Structure 1
Amino acid sequence: MHGWIDIETPHGPVRGWRADPVGPSKGAVLVIQEIFGVNAHIRSVAERLCAAGFVAIAPSLFDPVEHGVELDYDDAGIQRARALVAALGTERAIDILNSTAETLQMEGLRVGAVGFCWGGTLAFLCATRLSLPAVGYYGARSVPFLDERAGAALMFHFGADDNSIPPHDIDLHRQKQPQAKLFVYEGTGHAFNRDVDPKVYNEPAAKLAWQRTTDFLEAQLR
C-alpha cells in the first residue's frame, strides 16, 4: 500500500500517507511533519523509510483545523503554518500521533517516530509521553519540555549553524537528556534534510543523519 488512508482519532478522522514495504517489515515509523504539512517532501521521507523496510505513516496533523494543508517554504507559508500550529495545539497533535501508533500496534508492529522541525519536537514528546523510540531532527520547540522523562530511546540531530536552535539550547538537550544520542553537523543550518529546498539542504549531513536514523530505528524496533 502506498497512498492516503484515514486514521480515527479523538478529534475526528485525519488523513495519513502510508507506505508499506514488500514482504516482512522491520517495524513501523510515524513520520512527523514540519510545519508545512504532509507535503511531497514528507511523503518522500515515508517512501524512503518504506524502501529501508519499515511501514511508514505520516499523519496530516493539521486536519482537525484545516484539511489537506501543504504550504510553500516562503514567508506567507511560514506565517500560515505558525497559525495552524497554534490553533491545533500540542495536546491534539500528540493525540493524533498516539492514535496512529495504536493503529499500527494493533497490526502487531513495534512503532517508532521520526520528526522534523516542529515534528522533531513532537517526536521527542512521543518518547516522553507515548514511550516510543524517537528521532528528532532540529526540533526548535523542545526546550520547554526537556525536563520530561523519556520512556524510550532518543536520538537528536542538529545543524551547528541553526539560528533557531543556538548552542545553548543544544547543550540543554545534552544536560537534560544525557542518555540520548545527539549529533551536531558542522556547516549546516535548519532543515538540512529537506532535499527539495536547495537553500537549506546539506547532502553530506543529511546522508549521515539518515544512516544513523535508520540504524537506530532498526535496532530499537527489532
Structure 2
Amino acid sequence: MSRWIDLNTPHGPVRAWRAEPAGPSRGAVVVLQEIFGVNPHIRSVTERFASEGFVALAPSLFDPVEPGIELGYGDAEAQRGVDLRNRVGFERAVDVVEAAADLLGAEGLRTGVVGFCWGGSVSFLANTRLGLPTVSYYGARSVPFLDEPARAPLMFHFGARDKSIPPGDIELHRTKQPAARIFVYEGADHAFNRDVDNSHYHAASATQAWQRTLDFFAENLR
C-alpha cells in the first residue's frame, strides 16, 4: 500500500510518499529525491523498496520553500529544481530527513537512508550528522563535506562517465571516507538509476547497484 502522509518537521508540514511491504518489514528506508521532487520516478523507487520488504518513506524536500513540486527532466525544469535546491539548502533538508527517521524509529523500525543526485549528498549528511546507515547514488555536492566522519555504514555508487563527479572527486571519497564501500560503474553516467529517462538510464549498472543496495540494508537494518 502506498499513500501520501503529512510529516511534521521544524520547517512546517512536509508531504511524504509512504510505501508499505505486503508482509513483515525488514526495516525502513528514507528515500531522498533528485532535484525533480518526489515525482513518479521517486515514488516508484520507494515502492520498489516496499516490494523488497522495507517500509519506505520519501519526504518532499522542497516543501519548506514550495510545496507539492513534481518536475520532469527538461532543461527548464532542471533549472527550476536547482533553484529550489539552493533555496532549501542542506541544513533544512537534513532536518526533514531527521523528522522522517524519527517517525519511523518511533514505530520501532531500524532506519537507513538512500539518496539520488542532490539527495545522494543529503543522504551522506544524514550519515555524518544523524548516524544513519546510508547509500548515496552519484551525490555530486558531497565533496565539501567529506571531512565529516561517517557515523554509520556507508556506501557510494558513481558512474564512470559522470562529468559532475570526476575521478579526482571519487578518489577524495576513497581517501576521506576509508571505511565506505565505493563502487564505480563503467558505462554509466549521472542518474544511471533513473529508468524513466533513456538518456541517463544504464540498466546493467542500475541492476547491480540496486542489488548491492538491498544487500547493504539487509545487513545493516537487521
Name the TM tier (shorter chain). over 0.9
CA shift for structure 1 position 64: 1.0
Does residue 153 of structure 1 match 2:153? Answer: yes
- Tell me the distance in 2 between the aligned counterparts of 1:116 and 1:49: 14
Aligned length: 222
Structure 2 matches for 1:106-185, cutoff 5 A? 106-185=106-185
State the 1:23 CA deviation: 2.1
Q: Describe the SS at the equivalent of 2:9.
A: coil
Residues 1:9 and 2:13 are matched in the alignment:
no
Match of 2:84 in 1: 84
- List runs of 5+ in structure 2 lacking aligned partners: none
Q: CA deviation at 1:162?
A: 0.2
Equivalent in the alignment of 1:215: 215
TM-score by length of 1: 0.99
Aligned-residue identity in percent: 65
Instruction: For 2:143 and 2:209, locate their aligned partners in 1 and report how far apart those are by CA, in whole Å.
Output: 21
Distance 1:139 1:90 in 2: 13
Instruction: Please report how far the alpha carbon of residue 62 of structure 1 lies from its aligned counterpart in structure 2 after TM superposition.
Output: 0.4
- Moved segments of 4+, more than 6 Å: none
Deviations 1:125-161 (A, max 9, x none): 1110000000000000000000001110000000000
What is the DSSP-based 3-state SS (H/G/I as helix, E as strand, rest coil) of the residue aligned with 2:30? strand
Separation in 1, partners of 2:72, 2:107 = 35
Q: Which amino acid aligns with 2:67?
A: H
Q: Aligned equivalents of 1:107 and 1:23: distance in 2? A: 16
Give the letter for the 2:7 counterpart: I
Q: TM-score, normalised by structure 2?
A: 0.99
In 2: Cα distance, 1:102 partner to 1:72 partner = 30
CA RMSD of superposed structures (Å): 0.6
1:102 maps to 2:97:
no
